[in-house]
């Protein structure tokens, strides 16, 4: 299922200025893996991705992707920050200079969980990105 992610409409949710450039193609690869393509990050910009139940992000994961906190076999609570893995790959051909992309995961609830990807260079837009979000 490919879903085009669109900026959220003002008034329905708090929306940050668009940091990602391009048009997101969001695909639920399996019930624990999402692939996002078609985006770049402007220099010094921070783009946000949320779960489907989240609010205020530029890109939302599909409804079929449902990471949750859980208890490990040792009865230890595993948070969303620990259970969700984010990999950012360069998808552009002929890229001679890769820009560093920092990833920060915040929020302790499904509605508040947010992935923030930041281009840490001030003046260089990233190449096209291929973003994988996996729930362990």
Query: How would you write the chain as a 3-class SS string?
Result: CEEEECCCCECCECCCCCCEEEEEEEEEEECCEEEEEEEEECCCCEEEEECCCCCCCCEECCCCCCCCCEECCCCCEECHHHHEEEEEEECCCCCCCCCCEEEEEECCCCCCCEEEEEECCCCCCCCCEEEEEEEC
82-135 confidence digits (pLDDT tens): 999 999 999 877 666 789 999 999 998 999 999 999 999 988 889 999 999 999
pLDDT at 2 (0 to 100): 41
When divided into structural domains, the chain yields a total of 1
pLDDT at 6 (0 to 100): 42
- Could you tell me what percent of the chain has a pLDDT over 90? 68
pTM score of the predicted model: 0.84
pLDDT at 10 (0 to 100): 37
Structural domain for 121, as ranges: 2-135
pLDDT at 39 (0 to 100): 95
């Amino acid at each position: 299922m490919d879903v085009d992610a669109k900026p959220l409409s003002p008034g329905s949710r708090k929306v940050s200025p668009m940091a990602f450039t391009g048009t997101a193609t969001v695909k639920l690869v399996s019930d624990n893996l999402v692939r996002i393509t078609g985006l770049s990050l402007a220099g010094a910009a921070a783009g946000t991705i949320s779960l489907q139940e989240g609010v205020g992000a530029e890109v939302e994961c599909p409804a079929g992707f449902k990471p949750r906190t859980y208890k490990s076999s040792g009865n230890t609570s595993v948070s969303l920050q620990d259970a969700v893995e984010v990999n950012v790959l360069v998808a552009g051909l002929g890229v001679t200079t890769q820009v560093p992309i920092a990833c920060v995961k915040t929020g302790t609830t499904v509605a508040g969980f947010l992935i923030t990807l930041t281009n840490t260079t001030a003046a260089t837009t990233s190449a096209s990105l291929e973003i994988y979000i996996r729930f362990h």
